[in-house]
Amino acid sequence: MASSIDSHMTESTADSESESFSLTDDEIINSILDILARTAPEIRNGLPGRRVKTNEENPSGESPMEADVFADELLRNRLGSLDGIGEYASEERSSADDTGSGLSVCIDPLDGSSNLKSNAAMGTIAAVYDAPLPARGSDLVAAAYVLYGATTTMVAAVEGNVADYIIYQDGSYEPIEQEVRVPSEPTVYGFGGRVPNWPRDFNSFVSDIESDTSMKLRYGGAMVGDVNQVLTYGGIFGYPALTNAPSGKLRVQFEGYPIGYIIECAGGASSDGSQSLLAVESNDIHDRTPVYVGTPSLVERLEGALAGKADSE
């Protein structure tokens, strides 16, 4: 059983937080992924007693769950104290924390936390940039998400390769699949937002998808869970621009960039409706964007539909 990404790539750097010598970006990235894996069981075990909302308001204008705050503080303390991390930003914080010099980390501590009461899937999303925040999609050097499902897993994209890991209760982990690819034959789809608020062109595209009897609806209310379905079975996930939220709901820095990066590294496609998510402009860490990811043929069809072009398979 492995306990570090480095046992599959280089030598472990799990204890590098306390080392004073200069670390390479690869070593820092490996340490970040190690921390995500080691912290995952603690986050999962801390959920049962934190299933209620706080009296606070986060930058999105929402009242976070106690579990959101717990996960954020745990990750902030560990990632923020890591040598080679210059900034830590979270969906739960209005601005990025200056933690020294080096790479920038953006965290969605508990994606899908509204699923907590119903005991459905949730996750943690991490983006690592080699530039100050707000960064560009081209500044990404790694991205990962942890999925708290029937088992705890981590999908990580580093140097253009995507790997899937199982995380054990003691924080150790080992690969399930070392070269994850989006299947070319799509079988699942899932779209967020209220249907009455979907734009007409998007609604028409969804109707076309639903008319295909080979496609199965898979939408669980947590982006990481829905994206993992697409990564496993092929298909498309989307959270569109809405009539009451024309910029979309999902955040560029915390969700759009890292999920787009993971899917593209796995041979899939990402889009904001007209271009790759990695090409989206972002001037604030809490900027939002429509998000579409999945099998390239479906993402291309989606872009054509939103551009008003007739669908052609």
User: How far apart (Å, rounded) are the C-alpha atoms in residues 37 and 168?
Assistant: 9
Q: Name the nearest CA neighbour of 28 among 92, 95, 100.
A: 100
For residue 110, give the amino acid letter.
L
Distance from C-alpha of 263 to C-alpha of 254, rounded to nearest angstrom: 15
**Residue-by-residue pLDDT tens, the chain, 313 positions:** 455 555 544 444 444 444 445 789 999 999 999 999 999 999 999 999 999 999 888 888 788 999 999 999 999 999 999 999 999 999 999 999 999 999 999 999 999 999 999 999 999 999 999 999 999 999 999 999 999 999 999 999 999 999 999 999 999 999 999 999 999 999 999 999 999 999 999 999 999 999 999 999 999 999 999 999 999 999 999 999 999 999 999 999 999 999 999 999 999 999 999 999 999 999 999 999 999 999 999 999 999 999 987 544 4
Supply the CATH classification number for the domain 5-177.
Answer: 3.30.540.10
Check residue 63 and give its pLDDT: 87
Domain ranges of the chain: 5-177, 188-306
Q: Which residues are annotated as a binding site for Mg(2+)?
A: 91, 108, 110-111, 255
The domain at 188-306 falls in which architecture?
3-Layer(aba) Sandwich (3.40)
Q: Can you list the alpha helix ranges (DSSP code H) found in 159-210?
A: 200-210
Crossing angle for the helix pair 296-306 and 200-210, to the nearest 10 degrees: 140
Instruction: Round to whole Å and give the CA distance between 151 and 143.
Output: 20
pLDDT for position 5 = 58
Cβ proximity of 153 and 41 under 8 Å: no
Binding region: 91, 108, 110-114, 219, 249, 255
Residue 3: the pLDDT is 54
φ and ψ at residue 222, rounded to 5 degrees: -130, 120
Binding-site positions for substrate read 111-114, 219, 249
Q: What letter would DSSP give residue 227?
A: H
Closest by Cα among 154, 131, 130 to 144: 154
Whether 271 and 278 have beta carbons less than 8 Å apart is answered as no
Give pLDDT, residue 6.
53
Residue of 229, 236, 241 whose CA lies nearest to 202? 241
